[in-house]
Structure formats: structure tokens, C-alpha cells
Amino acid sequence: MFTQVVSALPAAERFAVGHVTIAAITTMKPLRRVVFWPVAASALVLVASTLMVGSPADAAARPSGKAMPNAPVGYHRVLAQDFKGTTLPSGWHPYYGQAGSDTGGWWSPTHVTVGGGVLTLRTYKDPAHAGPDNAWVEGGIDLWPSGVLTDGEYLVRSRVSSATGVTEVMLLWPNSDSWPPEIDFNESNGTNESTAHLIYGSASHPQTTQSGTLTPAAVNLTQWHTWGVIVSPTTITYTLDRRTWATMVNHEQVPMHLALQQQVWACGNSSGRTCPSAATPAEVDMQIDWVEVFALGHRQRR
């Protein structure tokens, strides 16, 4: 996927897990947008439900047929978010504008919808809301101030309507908005694969990246899956359906928040990501059933 590779990493930072190959690169631009949608910050209220989280009845009521799990040992839940209404819940902020790393599309809040029990990030040609370079318009959102953690676990239950030509990305972004670091725990690159990246700074390489790929043989992005990332002081663990598929050494500890986005890359982009083609449907949707966030450690009682 990337061509400029730095010298070999120490053994502790080289991984091969099943279909995963992880290496390091020094040339990578941030995936996030540089223009913010002006939504006032507000505390996110933990979703209340008449169904017990994790129960069989809860699973049956979910569009994806999978209940939100309970907090793992050593963690406590700080967010259990579903999308049962028709408006974006408090604390989620839609993107507006162009990504800082490409000119292939444009983010608009009009492409973020809630209905049918899911949050949908919609990508299609939309001249009424398009940017100056391309007719493609995507949806993207981030979550703050709730769920901002230095160490913890993030889970996202999602699927896409097509894995051709439009990239889905799930990432953690520094809450200070000072990049790097960046943790991408599901990035499809416009194909039916998932890649993971850890981008961090160092004295010798200001933008060093560890990277891993989960190949199409191991995943079908059009099916419901639970994507996760666990950040600890020493490691970053990437999970698919609660199973670990890659682990990387953690190099930076800063408060970060969750971001979910669709992205159209310009054809011929330098990173090798696939752009829309004749095989790309007129609309490509990313659906999210639920999101959970767990903080490391036990909740303090007052």
C-alpha cells in the first residue's frame, strides 16, 4: 500500500498475525478534515434503555442482531450509544469541508442521518453540497467531550453497503487537534479489506507509521462486524468481533476521541487508495448500529 519504508523496526515492533503484515512508513498525511462543523460542545448523556445491555432481548432488538457487550474486566463503561431516534445524539459532531489529505470529496452534515435504528454516513454525488474539486460528498462525525480517553477500549458495530471505491475509516484523533498521533483501527482504502495504522512522532521520524492489513479473505465489510481498538500505556490492540488481529507498540499517550467517516480519494492519489469507478454504486452507505467506550480502570465512587 505504501512505498517509502524506513529501516527495519526492532523485533518488538514487527508483527505477522494471520493475514496481517505490519511495517513502518514515514510518509502519511492525516485522514481527518481540517474544517469543523460549528456545533456547540455538550456533554453526551449515556443512553438509557428499557432493555438490559448485553441481554438476548437487547440483541434481538438491534438492527445488527448483536447486543452491546458488558465492560471487560479492569474497565468501566463511559458510553453506550445506540441510534434509535431520528436525530444525531448530543455529543456527536458532523464534519464540514475537505479532508486535509486529499481532494477527492467533501464532507457535509446533510450526509449524516439517523433512522431505522442506525446512524448512516452517506456518500454520493451531490452538486448542491459538493466542494470545488469533485461532486462526491461524504458523511463524517466525531465524538467529544464524552469518550475522550488516554487509555481505553472503543467498539463500533457497523457495515457498508459496498466496499468498492469509497473508503470507510474509524480512528482515534488527538483531542488537542495537534497531529500526530493518529490511530486508525478500520480503514478500507476503497476495497474489501481493513487496515490499521498507528501514526506517531519521534525525534528521527516526525511522522512514523506502523501499519497492518486484514485481507479480503478474512473479512467482508458489507456484513455486520464489531470493530475495536484497545489503547494501553504500552500497546495498541486491534480487534474484529472481539478477537485480536493485530497488536502494535504504543509510542504516544495523549487524550484522544473517536471519529467515524466515509472518504472518497482522488484517482491517482499517491497513497494508492482506490477511487470510485464504474463498479461503484451511485450511493455507498456506512451504517453504525451502536458504539461503546470503556475506560481503563474501575469507576471511582463518590
Tens-place pLDDT, residues 200-212: 886 666 678 888 8
Average pLDDT, the chain: 82
**pTM value?**
0.83
Buried b (16+ CB within 10 A) or exposed e, 257-296: bbbbbbbbbbeeeeeebbbbeeebeeebbbbbbbbbbbbb
pLDDT tens digits, one per residue of 60-69: 789 999 999 9
- The fold of 11-38+65-296 is Jelly Rolls (2.60.120)
Q: What is the model's pLDDT at position 205?
A: 64
pLDDT tens digits, one per residue of 86-103: 999 999 999 999 887 677
Check whether 44 has a pLDDT greater than 60: no
Check whether 15 has a pLDDT greater than 60: no
Strands of the 92-94 sheet, one edge to the other: 15-17, 20-25, 208-214, 194-200, 182-187, 167-174, 256-263, 140-143, 92-94
Check whether 28 has a pLDDT greater than 80: no
Picking from 153, 94, 157, the residue whose alpha carbon sits closest to that of residue 122 is 94
Q: What is the model's pLDDT at position 34?
A: 43
Which pLDDT band, with edges at 50, 70 and 90, does 272 fall under? confident
Where are the domains positioned within the chain? 11-38+65-296
| Angle at 38 (CA atoms; ends 147, 100), nearest 5 degrees | 80
Query: Are the CB atoms for 161 and 285 separated by under 8 Å?
Result: yes
- Please give the Cα distance from 173 to 100 (Å, whole number): 14
Check whether 114 has a pLDDT greater than 70: yes
